[in-house]
């Protein structure tokens, strides 16, 4: 006795079997998505928080630069510390509203350039401009230092709730 075998098309399964497999797979995909959704949301929130922290740090540094740029425009501006600090705070607050969790401090000083070239690096030691005795050229410099405290929206385990960002800019006063 001979048994006949019947093949359908190119070896495909029947449409009822395909429908059953698809329904089962859809449920599995939904369960996998449900398990991964909290992880994906946590990752997304972490990326947003990291972006906020980076933007805050950049704004604090840019604020120091804005204050020093204003103070370096001329000798009169270099003597007005409160206005340099205000310019720094205005620049930062135009980008991010910091509120009262940050400060700006402005200083100036002079160094003597005897023809060899001199930098406005505050580590080399500045002298009050009215007290400097120089046989070369007097170089006046301004420095603005900013500090701000950034607070996270969420508290992640192992990650600090807040951190302090510091900015500093030093520029030579134009004469």
pLDDT one-digit tens code per residue, 107-123? 998 888 877 777 787 75
* CA neighbours closer than 13 Å in the CB half-sphere of residue 146: 34
> Has residue 7 been placed in a domain?
no
Question: Is 155 a domain residue?
Answer: yes
Phi/psi at 56 (nearest 5 deg)?
-65, -45
Q: Looking at the predicted structure, is the pLDDT value of residue 145 above 80? A: yes
Residue 10 lies in a domain: no
Res 8 pLDDT > 70: no
Whether residue 3 lies inside any domain: the answer is: no
pLDDT per residue as tens digits for the range 84-109 = 999 998 887 776 665 567 889 999 98
Residue 95 lies in a domain: yes
Residue span of the structural domain in which 65 resides: 15-172
In total, how many domains does the chain have? Answer: 1
Q: 110: helix, coil or strand?
A: strand
CB 90 within 8 A of CB 104: no
Task: Give the single-character DSSP code of 174.
Answer: P
Domain assignment of residue 6, yes or no: no
Give pLDDT, residue 167: 94
- Whether 59 is in a domain gets the answer yes
Please write the tens of the pLDDT for every residue from 10-64. Answer: 555 555 555 555 555 667 888 888 999 999 998 898 888 888 888 888 989 999 9
| pLDDT at 3 (0 to 100) | 56
pLDDT of residue 115: 75
Rounded mean pLDDT, 150-154? 82
């Amino acid at each position: 006795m001979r048994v006949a075998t019947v093949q359908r098309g190119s070896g495909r399964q029947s449409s009822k079997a395909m429908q059953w497999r698809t329904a089962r797979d859809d449920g599995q995909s939904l369960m996998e998505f449900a398990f991964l959704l909290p992880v994906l949301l946590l990752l997304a929130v972490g990326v947003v928080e990291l972006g906020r922290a980076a933007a805050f740090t950049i704004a604090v540094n840019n604020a120091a630069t804005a204050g020093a740029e204003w103070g370096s425009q001329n000798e009169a501006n270099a003597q007005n510390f409160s206005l340099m600090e205000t310019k720094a705070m205005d620049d930062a607050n135009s980008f991010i509203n910091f509120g009262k969790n940050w400060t700006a401090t402005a200083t100036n000083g002079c160094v003597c350039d005897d023809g060899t070239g001199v930098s406005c690096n505050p580590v080399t030691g500045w002298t009050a401009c009215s007290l400097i005795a120089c046989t070369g050229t007097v170089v006046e410099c301004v420095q603005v230092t900013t500090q701000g405290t950034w607070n996270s929206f969420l508290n992640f385990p192992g990650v600090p709730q807040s951190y302090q960002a510091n900015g500093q800019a030093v520029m030579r006063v134009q004469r």
